[in-house]
């Protein structure tokens, strides 16, 4: 069975390197596309989905903003299951500061390039402590274009999803600072997990994957 992974903002497929899935599953990367001018999120998700084999059942895994995109794909091309990691399942789980940023247009502000280079804030929000993880995060953020950053932040603050869709399972860290746990209603809480728990708590997340994906072994 095919399992498609969508990384988060400031990350790539290597964020999932430590995640193990059952042997009957095949791991695929859905790398980010550069958004078209003023492209709607649902249209972007449709373009992302063009690289999915729709001839057989599949599972989507979305990390952070990748979870939002995974849900948008799921709405158009239903997956067997959507697994969210350190993400949100609907607009009601969006923290107040994202809503505030959207209301005042901070995400489109001329100061955004400066915020993009504010390393200490980025490390704090993502919960990265080791030099290696900080180096990885900074490298990925430096490679993220300003066009994509503005577009993705706009997509987040104006996301219209009103409720958690059927078929979505949400894993979240108890110490996530970007999407704090008090705003979310996850199906499984990773104690001590930060927004970067996909790396720091990969073993626990992999155990959950074995349970969640194991029920689909007959589809392989």
Task: Answer yes or no: is pLDDT of 50 > 90.
Answer: yes
pLDDT-derived band at 144 (thresholds 50, 70, 90) equals low
| pLDDT of 118 | 46
Task: Answer yes or no: is pLDDT of 176 > 80.
Answer: yes
Every domain of the chain and the residues it spans: 2-219
Give the dihedral sign, CA 200/88/77/153: negative
83-59-127 Cα angle (round to 5): 30
- In CATH terms, the fold of domain 2-219 is Rossmann fold (3.40.50)
CA distances from 169 to 31, 59, 62, 67 (A): 22, 11, 10, 10
Distance separating alpha carbons of residues 176 and 154, to the nearest angstrom: 21
Nearest to 184 by CA among 95, 101, 100: 95
Q: Which residue has the tokens 């299951």?
A: 81
- pTM of this structure: 0.86
| Weakest mean pLDDT among 29-33, 115-119, 181-185 | 115-119
pLDDT-derived band at 136 (thresholds 50, 70, 90) equals low
């Amino acid at each position: 069975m095919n399992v498609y992974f969508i990384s988060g903002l400031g990350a790539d497929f290597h964020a999932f390197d430590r995640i193990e899935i059952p042997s009957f599953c095949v791991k695929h990367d859905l790398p980010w596309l550069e958004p078209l001018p003023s492209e709607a999120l649902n249209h972007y998700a449709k373009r992302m989905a063009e690289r999915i084999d729709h001839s057989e059942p599949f599972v989507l895994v979305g990390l952070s903003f990748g979870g939002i995109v995974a849900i948008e794909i799921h709405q158009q091309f239903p997956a067997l299951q959507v697994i969210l990691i350190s993400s949100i399942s609907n607009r009601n789980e969006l923290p107040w500061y994202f809503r505030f940023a959207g209301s005042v247009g901070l995400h489109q502000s001329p100061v955004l390039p400066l915020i993009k280079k504010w390393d200490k804030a980025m490390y704090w929000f993502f919960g990265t402590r080791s030099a290696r993880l900080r180096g990885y995060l900074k490298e990925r953020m430096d490679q993220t274009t300003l066009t994509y950053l503005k577009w993705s932040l706009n997509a987040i603050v104006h996301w219209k999803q009103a409720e958690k869709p059927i078929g979505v399972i949400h894993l979240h860290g108890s110490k996530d600072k970007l999407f704090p746990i008090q705003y979310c209603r996850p199906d499984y809480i990773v104690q001590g997990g930060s927004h970067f728990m996909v790396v720091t708590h990969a073993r626990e997340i992999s155990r959950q994957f074995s349970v969640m994906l194991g029920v689909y072994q007959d589809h392989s």
